Chains A and B, each alone.
Chain A
Amino acid sequence: DAGVIQSPRHEVTEMGQEVTLRCKPISGHNSLFWYRQTMMRGLELLIYFNNNVPIDDSGMPEDRFSAKMPNASFSTLKIQPSEPRDSAVYFCASSLVGSAYNEQFFGPGTRLTVL
């Protein structure tokens, strides 16, 4: 079991550029989550997909952020245009919602730095 896979692990970009973060959930999981972690705000849920459909995007900070899940094995989080305040660690997690535990499995994260 490879676990949740995220790429890239580190991204450094300049303000105004487009950034795309990628996630491959654990095979068989029906739910995917994108989180952002900062010192100031801790762990924030950005968006939740169930069966590839966005269910809760109330945590997406603004229109510059968008997320897609075209199939059960792939999701992207895009920031366009990026700003310095977007610098954070972005985590993807997957889960089998509806199982006995609803436990979330986290990827290693992508550390984003916007200059």
Chain B
Amino acid sequence: AQSVTQPDIHITVSEGASLELRCNYSYGATPYLFWYVQSPGQGLQLLLKYFSGDTLVQGIKGFEAEFKRSQSSFNLRKPSVHWSDAAEYFCAVISGTYKYIFGTGTRLKVLA
């Protein structure tokens, strides 16, 4: 069965430090992968997506993610974290044509 695993429930980093959020997926075919961010009290906003082609995907707010088929991973990265990046981050894969399978989320805390 398809699944998405985000192994880190909470991550704390200092402002200006680099960030990597992990995402592993289980999917039989070529996956369509997404990263969303949810700020407190807000809906989910798409950061970036991968469908095919270049395995390094650039997104909004300075985020990027790298698709590694051999590791079944789609990790999210940012070279320098800002205090406004504190939020919850969700990785998702599309199953079939419409059904998102979400990971359980990683809550990011940024220290000043």
Specify the chain A residue showing the minimal Cβ separation from B32: A102
Query: Does A56 contact B46, Cβ atoms closer than 8 Å?
Result: no
The answer for the CA separation of A100 and B97 in the assembled complex, in Å, is: 10
A34 interface hit (Cβ, 8 Å): no
91-112 of chain B: CB within 8 A of chain A: 94, 97-100, 102, 104-105
Interface of A (DSSP majority class): strand
State how many residues of chain A have any CB contact under 8 Å with chain B.
25
Residues of A within 8 A of B98 (CB): 31, 33, 48, 50, 55-56, 95, 97, 102
B26 interface hit (Cβ, 8 Å): no
Query: Does A101 contact B99, Cβ atoms closer than 8 Å?
Result: no
Residue-wise, chain A 93-115 has the 8 Å CB interface mask toward B (1 for contact) of: 10101101111111111000000
Closest CB of chain A to B76's CB: distance in Å? 17
Knowing A91-B43, A100-B51, A108-B43, the reply to whether A43 touches B99 (Cβ < 8 A) is no
Query: Does B97 contact A101, Cβ atoms closer than 8 Å?
Result: no
Closest CB of chain B to A23's CB: distance in Å? 11
Residue-wise, chain A 43-57 has the 8 Å CB interface mask toward B (1 for contact) of: 101001010000110
The answer for the CA separation of A105 and B43 in the assembled complex, in Å, is: 9
B residues bordering A, Cβ < 8 Å? 32, 34, 36, 41-46, 49, 51, 90, 94, 97-100, 102, 104-105
Closest CB of chain A to B107's CB: distance in Å? 11
Query: Does A42 contact B51, Cβ atoms closer than 8 Å?
Result: no
Residues of A within 8 A of B97 (CB): 97-98, 102
Query: Does B44 contact A106, Cβ atoms closer than 8 Å?
Result: yes
The answer for the CA separation of A37 and B102 in the assembled complex, in Å, is: 11
Query: Does B100 contact A104, Cβ atoms closer than 8 Å?
Result: yes
Residues of A within 8 A of B90 (CB): 43
Residues of A within 8 A of B51 (CB): 100-101
Query: Does B44 contact A42, Cβ atoms closer than 8 Å?
Result: no
Across the A-B interface, the 7 shortest Cβ-Cβ residue pairs:
A106-B43, A106-B44, A43-B102, A108-B43, A97-B98, A42-B104, A109-B43
Residues of A within 8 A of B45 (CB): 106
